């Protein structure tokens, strides 16, 4: 151990009696049945294929989770109805007294620009 604080020193070895004690314990353990079968743990431990399959499953589930969460946050659209999204015009903002920063941060306002479907009457308050 040159160049270390432990030069010329070493940890004490095990007591001589320990060998017999350990081997006696080993012979008792070797006659006992091995640990209860944990089939899947053993497979994961010993088989590279099983580990790869497990990893692939985890990745697949993570990807599916991301996709589903992404799909859940999308706006629902009705068929045939397309909202035209428009910001209030600058003049309109000034008219209604919107603070410009608030106006920039506020969600875009939707106005229904499509004509009403044939035969349908628009609500009275819009007439």
Partner 1 sequence: MSVATQLEAGPLLLAGAAGPDVAEECLRRLAAGDQAAAGELYDRFAGELYGLALWRCGSSADAADVVQTVFVRLLERRRRLPAVRRPRAYLLRMTHRAAIDLLRRRGRRSEPLREELLAPVATDPARRLEAERMSRRLAELPPAQREALYLRYFAELSYAEIGRVTGVPTFTAASRCRLALRRLRRAAAGGGSP
Q: Which residues bind partner 1 (CB under 8 A)?
A: 1, 4-6, 8-15, 18-19, 21-23, 25-27, 29-30, 32, 34-35, 42, 45-46
In angstroms, how far is the first alpha carbon of the chain from the final one? Answer: 96
Note whether 59 and 66 are within 8 A (CB).
Answer: no
The nearest distance, CB 24 to partner 1, in angstroms, is 9
**Quick one: 19 or 82, whose CB is closer to partner 1?**
19
The nearest distance, CB 56 to partner 1, in angstroms, is 20
**Quick one: 17 or 118, whose CB is closer to partner 1?**
17
**Quick one: 55 or 60, whose CB is closer to partner 1?**
55
In 3D space, the residue among 80, 101, 100 whose CA is nearest the CA of residue 90 turns out to be 100
Structure tokens at 6: 């432990």
Note whether 57 and 63 are within 8 A (CB).
Answer: no
Structure tokens at 127: 């007439």
The nearest distance, CB 57 to partner 1, in angstroms, is 21
């Amino acid at each position: 151990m040159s160049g270390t604080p432990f030069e010329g020193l070493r940890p004490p070895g095990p007591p001589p009696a320990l060998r017999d004690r350990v081997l006696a314990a080993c012979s008792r353990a070797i006659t006992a049945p091995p640990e209860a079968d944990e089939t899947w743990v053993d497979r994961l431990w010993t088989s590279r294929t099983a580990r790869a399959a497990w990893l692939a499953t985890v990745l697949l589930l993570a990807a599916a989770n991301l996709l589903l969460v992404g799909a859940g946050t999308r706006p629902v659209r009705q068929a045939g109805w397309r909202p035209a999204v428009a910001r209030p015009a600058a003049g309109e903002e000034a008219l209604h007294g919107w603070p410009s920063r608030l106006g920039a941060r506020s969600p875009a306002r939707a106005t229904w620009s499509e004509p009403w479907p044939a035969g349908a009457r628009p609500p009275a308050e819009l007439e």
